[in-house]
Amino acid sequence: MTSIQYRRASYVTLVAPAFFVYAAVIIFPIAYTAYLSFVRWQGFGAPQWVALANYTRMLTDPVFLHGLRNNLLVVGISVLGQIPLGFVLAYVIYRRMVRAEKFFEVMIFLPITISPVVVAILWNQIFSPAGAFTAIVRALTGNPTYIMRLFEDRTLAIAPILFVILWMYTGLYMVIYLANLQRIDPEIIESATIDGASEPQIFTRIILPAMVNIIFTTTVFAVSGSLKSFDLIWAFTQGGPAHYTEVIAIYMYRHTFRFYNYGLGASTSMAIIVLSVVLICGLRAIARYLERRYE
């Protein structure tokens, strides 16, 4: 065997096993999902080509639209809540504004290791009508008749879930930003201080420019992660009551595995992918625009 052939054979031996598993479980099924989204199929018999019928049905279904709205709220709380809060916490630790910083870091990061299912059931308990939240509000306001009723309100039912998502993942962003802040050369900040730069100036001229890229990357992660959210909300409310807290992934699950409406489920899956691509492209455009303005 010549050396190039040997190189090639070794390359295939190294890369092929991983790629094969990946292709069989992800690439091929995605292509199949794309096909299924254009047919009507109940899991048996021949699939029937219906072109865009699944998509139009999905887009005119008020349950789907409410789920989409909830999903966008989850994206919103991730991008506008977790990321700024995580940044503030990381900055507080980085600039050594508190003692026992290690303790705070460890405690705030802790929820990330706990299963979303456990987190959801725990908080569902706390927010239940007879739960801890009701008891705390009663004690604080002195109103013994208060009962937590947010879940009965179509508009606000998602609020407790948004809070829990904020609770669970802010620590993750804190840790990511902290690791990146620690890579900024401290001497730059020291010499800026000696030259008489004020705190806000140091923040906007040195810290922010060094962090722009990582903020963008984490935003991309936050967006695609938010659109995927399923287990936490499923274990929390199963999308109920009356679909008030439904998100697209739950809508997809229900139609596929409860009603065996594979076509509609597949078109919903495609919607999740398309939506994350669109949002991420939008983010890129914003990032480019900001880059051009500040350079």
Partner 1 sequence: MVTIPRTGRTNTRNSARSGGAIFGRRATRRRPAIESVGWKTAAYVCMLAFTVLTIAPLVWLAYSSFKPHPVIVRNIFSLPESLYWENYTVAWTRGTMGIYFVNSIIYTSTATVLTTLLALSAGYGLAKFRFRVSALVYGAFIMGLLVTPHSVLVPLFILETRVGIDNTRAGVILPYIAFGLPFLVYLATSFIRGIPDAFEQSALCDGAGYLRIFRSVIVPLSTPVATTMLIFAFISNWNEFVFVFTLTSSPALRSLPVGINAFAGGMTRDFGLQFAALIIGTVPMIVFYIFFHEQIARGFAAGALKG
- Among the listed ranges 1-9, 62-70, 76-84, 142-150, the one in contact with partner 1 (CB under 8 A) is 1-9
What Cα–Cα distance (Å) separates residue 258 from each residue in 55, 166, 242, 255?
19, 30, 16, 6
Contact 181, 90 (CB under 8 A): yes
R_g (Cα) of the chain, nearest Å: 24
Q: Which long-range contacts (CB under 8 A, 24 or more apart) does 248-257 make?
A: 248/64, 248/67, 248/68, 248/71, 248/272, 248/275, 250/67, 251/63, 251/64, 251/67
Letters for 127-156 (x = contact with partner 1 by CB under 8 A, - = none) are ---xxx--x---------------------
C-alpha to C-alpha distance for 114 and 220, rounded to whole angstroms:
23
Instruction: Examine residue 178 and tell whether it contacts partner 1 (CB under 8 A).
Output: yes
Of the ranges 62-70, 72-80, 150-158, 218-226, which one interacts with partner 1 (CB under 8 A)?
218-226
Instruction: Report the C-alpha gap between 243 and 241 in whole angstroms.
Output: 6
Does 77 contact partner 1 by CB under 8 A?
Answer: no
For residue 276, the minimal CB distance to partner 1 (Å) is 6
- Asked if 114 is part of the footprint of partner 1 (rule: CB under 8 A), the reply reads yes
- Between 116 and 239, name the residue whose CB sits nearer to partner 1: 116
Site string for partner 1, 37-76 (x = CB under 8 A): ----------------------------------------
Residues 6+ apart with CB under 8 A from 219: 79, 83, 283
Q: Which of 53, 72, 122, 197 binds partner 1 (CB under 8 A)?
A: 122
First to last CA, the chain: 55
Closest to partner 1 by CB, 73 or 131: 131
CA 173 to chain centroid: 12
When binding is defined by CB under 8 A, the residue of 155, 182, 201, 204 that contacts partner 1 is 182
Cβ proximity to partner 1, 11 vs 49, nearer residue: 11
Beta carbon nearer to partner 1, 70 or 256 = 256
- Does 123 bind partner 1 (CB under 8 A)? Our answer is yes
Stretch of 3-11, 46-54, 56-64, 140-148 contacting partner 1, by CB under 8 A: 3-11
Please, what is the minimum distance in Å from the beta carbon of residue 218 to partner 1?
Answer: 6
Q: Which of 77, 87, 249, 254 binds partner 1 (CB under 8 A)?
A: 249
- What residues numbered 84-113 form the site for partner 1, per CB under 8 A? 88-89, 92, 94-98, 103-113
How far from chain centre, in Å, is Cα 169? Answer: 9
Contacts of 45 (CB under 8 A, 6+ apart): none
DSSP 8-state code for residue 152: G
Q: Tell me the residue ranges of DSSP E strands in the chain.
A: 39-40, 48-49
* 259 makes contact with partner 1 (CB under 8 A): no
Residue 158 touches partner 1, criterion: CB under 8 A = no
Burial 241-250, CB ≥16 within 10 A → b, else e: eebbbbbbbb
